[in-house]
Amino acid sequence: MSAAQELIARVRLSLAIEPGDGAVSDSVSSVGAARTVEELLDGDERPELVARLRTVDPERVLAVADRQRVRFVTPADDEWPSQLDDLAHGQRVQGLGGVPVGLWVRGPMRLTDLSESVAVVGSRSATSYGFDVATDVAASAARAGRPVVSGAAFGIDQAGHRGALAAGGATVAVLACGADRAYPAAHRELIDHIAQRHAVVSEAPPGSAPTKVRFLSRNRLIAALSRGTVLVEAALRSGALNTAHWNDQLSRVLMGVPGPVTSATSQGVHEWIRKGSAALVTSGAEVLELVGGSGEHLMAVPRGPERAHDGFSLRQVRVLDAVPVARGASTESISSIAGVGVQEADRVLVELTEAGLVHLAVDGWRLVAGGGRGGGGR
């Protein structure tokens, strides 16, 4: 079988099947596309698929796609994102799965550049909180040189793209409709902008309308293309959780951004963190740490603001801590509570006075208001 025949057979299958047709994908992976087409035409198991295979016109569609600057990318191409081959292991989510027979791509970006990408997905009805966090996380990924991958929906998808673009990074929209189309229509400008600078990808051929099956199949591509997925706001039955299931299947890193427990759009995320399927992340830095290779992006343990008496001696801290919160105390009482001698206590109290932390009031030693006491033992 020639490479050209294989390519045409893959286009033909892409035009005839629904995205995520696992049986066809598995056959293509094992015997090739041309032979798969032959076997389907010879068999009588899938008469509707056979009817479609007989009517589609691969050459014509390829020519039209070319005029629309949409190209068809297969495993035979240099730019094939090899991480998609992880889909060849028979996993199914809601009956769908398999390596796509090819991807329809609009935009100058090579798909191999997605090997270190981060997916940012979540609720379409995001809150402004979720929108802001998704924007931040995507911008962090982009600044670290990692492309962002998402759908093109309202809410978190949009925020992910905008964050990456604002940071001057790359972002890729994976659509449930054809790569030449825009769904939702309100995102036509955003989608065209991404296609102009980076890439818009679909498993469905140009002209396809978005359907539920295509959304579900699309979600597996978002999970498979990226090193890990950040889930920012998802209600309990959110479609974004379908991407999370794919992440699970593919052993990709799944991360969830928490939110108020009173927010319905965070409930799905909390549920996934609770059951141990998603790691809680609170910042782009934490995302990069989790998707990074070993040693990359290892982040400093957050510490919180330095306190005025950081760096004090243990003795100084003890004496300071022995000064009561609410009233004055004698040197004797402080020495006894701090467990140091009276003269020692007196000496340290003078040091603390010089540091502006305590003062001698009429009823004894007192803390200076706002003098760096801060959080304490609550």
Cβ count within 10 A of residue 355 = 16
Query: 109 vs 273, which CB is nearer to a copy of itself?
Result: 273
> Considering only residues 25, 91, 135, 242, which one is a binding residue for a copy of itself as defined by CB under 8 A?
242
Verify binding: residue 279, a copy of itself, rule CB under 8 A.
Answer: yes
> Considering only residues 91, 117, 135, 238, which one is a binding residue for a copy of itself as defined by CB under 8 A?
238
Query: 192 vs 321, which CB is nearer to a copy of itself?
Result: 321
> Considering only residues 145, 293, 295, 305, which one is a binding residue for a copy of itself as defined by CB under 8 A?
305
Q: How far is the CB of 304 from a copy of itself (least distance, A)?
A: 3
Verify binding: residue 186, a copy of itself, rule CB under 8 A.
Answer: no
> Considering only residues 237, 251, 293, 311, which one is a binding residue for a copy of itself as defined by CB under 8 A?
237
Please identify, among the stretches 138-146, 158-166, 194-202, 254-262, the one whose residues bind a copy of itself according to the rule CB under 8 A: 254-262
Q: How far is the CB of 133 from a copy of itself (least distance, A)?
A: 6
Verify binding: residue 311, a copy of itself, rule CB under 8 A.
Answer: no
Q: How far is the CB of 46 from a copy of itself (least distance, A)?
A: 9
Please identify, among the stretches 7-15, 36-44, 76-84, 251-259, the one whose residues bind a copy of itself according to the rule CB under 8 A: 251-259
**Sheet-wide strand order for 199-202:** 70-73, 103-106, 199-202, 171-175, 148-150, 118-122, 228-232, 253-257, 279-280
Q: Which of residues 16-35 bind a copy of itself (CB under 8 A)?
A: 18
> Considering only residues 23, 113, 129, 143, which one is a binding residue for a copy of itself as defined by CB under 8 A?
129
Verify binding: residue 41, a copy of itself, rule CB under 8 A.
Answer: no
CA atoms within 13 A on the CB side of 192: 7
Query: 32 vs 258, which CB is nearer to a copy of itself?
Result: 258
Query: 74 vs 202, which CB is nearer to a copy of itself?
Result: 202
Verify binding: residue 183, a copy of itself, rule CB under 8 A.
Answer: yes
Minimal CA–CA distance to 73: which of 16, 118, 112?
112
Please identify, among the stretches 79-87, 99-107, 244-252, 265-273, the one whose residues bind a copy of itself according to the rule CB under 8 A: 265-273
Cβ atoms of 271 and 246 within 8 Å: the answer is no
The gap from C-alpha 324 to its chain's centroid, in whole angstroms, comes to 49
Q: Which of residues 194-233 bind a copy of itself (CB under 8 A)?
A: 209-216, 218-219
Q: How far is the CB of 75 from a copy of itself (least distance, A)?
A: 25
Verify binding: residue 282, a copy of itself, rule CB under 8 A.
Answer: yes
Minimal CA–CA distance to 64: which of 180, 201, 191, 198?
180
> Considering only residues 303, 354, 362, 370, which one is a binding residue for a copy of itself as defined by CB under 8 A?
303
Q: How far is the CB of 98 from a copy of itself (least distance, A)?
A: 15
For CA atoms 155, 158, 164, 168, give the dihedral sign. Answer: negative
Verify binding: residue 12, a copy of itself, rule CB under 8 A.
Answer: no
> Considering only residues 37, 225, 250, 281, which one is a binding residue for a copy of itself as defined by CB under 8 A?
281
Q: Which of residues 336-375 bind a copy of itself (CB under 8 A)?
A: 336-337, 339, 341, 375
